[in-house]
Structure 1
Amino acid sequence: MTSNQKPNVSATAQWLTLDGVMPGFTTNQAPRSRDLEGLLVRTLWADGTLIDHNFEPDGLTWHYLTNHGDRRGYDPCEVFEIDEGLYYLQFQRDDRPIEAPSVFFDLTRGVGLSVIATIDDVTDGMLTVRHQFEPFTIVGSEPTGAMPVVSPVDAKGQSTCEIRSGIFVATWREKVVPRGAVIIADRRDEHNPRSRGAVFGLDSSGTETVHFTFGTDDTDGALLSTTNPHQER
């Protein structure tokens, strides 16, 4: 390739695999929050399921109280503070490694949202990772915020949800490199945007899962453009 030639972005065989791009995402990350350690949060889901979340240092003990038998377990997790009273929890289930939940607890408003990423059977031309949005309420809190409303999934497997005014949860999926991502983006200050998220998918062999978080508070970069997700096209 000469200096005047542009790279062929359609040459997908040259794309890095998920385990190949991971070091670039995980080198510089935002600090984790310790605010929830020692806290027990009970959540109520649309189907009547109750789940206890007991936050421990670097881990989460969970227990299904109804509808799913006596299911319980422990998973290492990462917790990030997004805004006052709004926390983002990320983990991969030890009992079902093909699932990686992203859970958003709005302790101020008494509501929350879970986005469950699941790896499907790998088929040529099919998206490998799917996302399921499940809102919930927090037991013991009087919900003061509206339940998150999720946009329909588009042809590229993308969907968005405004979890607080100016704070959005979004998903995207890719089939060339089998992966999907969940992102929570704070766009209240367009000159100082912040985001957190996780990528989940398969490694270069197509058999092992790869799961990592990303996002920093580094504001040294330059803002290239802004997009209003509600703007009509």
Structure 2
Amino acid sequence: MPRVSTLSDTSTWLPLDGLAPGFDANKAPVSGDLDGREFVLRDDDGPVFTRDGAEPAETFLVDDGLYYVQLHPGDAREAVSLFLDVRDGRALVVTTRIGEAGTPRVTQEFRPATIDGIDVRGEPMAPSTALIGRRVLWVYSEQHAYEHLYLSPHWYTWQCLAGPERGLADTDENTVYRVRPGIHVFTWREKVIPCASVTVADHRDARRLRSHGVLFGLDASGEKTTHFTFGAHGRLLSTTVHPGHLDPAES
């Protein structure tokens, strides 16, 4: 695949389907623990989502009793990511939608919920500022590596260190939810390439971070959808601590 020669010319940037080959090398094994199980998720307003276990999906074990389920959208322009804590009865539903226009073109909705039939304990899955100030290296394969700098509740910066996008960098929208202590759902929405990502990352060991996720958006034609899951190994490179009155987490 040819290297991007003019880094500032975003018209030459790699489309989402061009990134896919080999990007899933560090994906975790799919888990069958939830096969055949039905889950009814609800919030204070009523049912949020029901999973009957028959939909095409991939399930990944994140931690003891904590699962990430990525439903396959087929040709639909909407993809659903589920985070199910079957130990604590908590859940988070993230819906990613490809719009007709706008910046970003791909948007996301977040619905914390509880799981019917499981005693609920602990804190709800909720927005978090815990990652702000961290600079993290993520390795997706022997050929793909990126660093993330988590800037604020709304923004993060990424830079490609290895792979077909090497040398590219940008600052895009992000949203972070805490699902358990040290484990966070991290999502982003790109403004140049029409795509968005949903990931869940275990930050408890700074030298051995682990993430699982999905990218969803449009291919080079701008008409067909691209959807693929992946995984990454990471490590904390540094942490910036701002003076209290200038702390982006307080903005």
* Length-normalised TM-score, structure 1: 0.78
Structure 1's consecutive aligned runs of 4 or more residues displaced over 6 angstroms after TM superposition are 228-231
**Alpha carbons 1:85, 1:106 under 8 Å: kept:** yes
Query: Cα deviation per residue 1:124-178 (whole Å; 9 max; x = unaligned)?
Result: xx21110110011011112102111225962632111111000011111112111
Provide the residue aligned with 1:42 in structure 2: 40
Amino acid aligned to 1:128: R
> How many pairs are equivalent?
203
Determine the C-alpha separation between the residues in 2 that align with 1:50 and 1:102.
13
Provide the residue aligned with 2:17 in structure 1: 19
Question: How many Å apart are 1:27 and its aligned residue?
Answer: 3.9
Determine the C-alpha separation between the residues in 2 that align with 1:228 and 1:164.
23
Structure 2: where are the runs of 5+ without partners? 129-151, 156-171
Amino acid aligned to 2:107: R
Other structure's SS at 1:157 match: strand
Instruction: Report matched runs for 1:175-186 at 5 Å.
Output: 175-186=191-202
Determine the C-alpha separation between the residues in 2 that align with 1:229 and 1:40.
44
Query: Cα deviation per residue 1:6-49 (whole Å; 9 max; x = unaligned)?
Result: x6532212211100001131344210001111222222233212
Q: CA RMSD in A?
A: 2.6
Provide the residue aligned with 2:93 in structure 1: 114
Most deviating of 41-50 and 147-156: 147-156
* Length-normalised TM-score, structure 2: 0.73
Structure with bigger strand share is 2
Structure 1: where are the runs of 5+ without partners? 1-6, 56-60, 62-74
Determine the C-alpha separation between the residues in 2 that align with 1:183 and 1:28.
14
Provide the residue aligned with 1:105 in structure 2: 84
Amino acid aligned to 2:216: F
Higher relative contact order (CA 8 A, sep 6+): 2
Determine the C-alpha separation between the residues in 1 that align with 2:153 and 2:94.
13
Instruction: Report matched runs for 1:88-167 at 5 Å.
Output: 88-94=68-74, 97-123=76-102, 126-151=103-128, 154=154, 156-167=172-183
When residues 129 and 229 of structure 1 are mapped into structure 2, their CA distance, relative to the original with a 3 A threshold, is farther
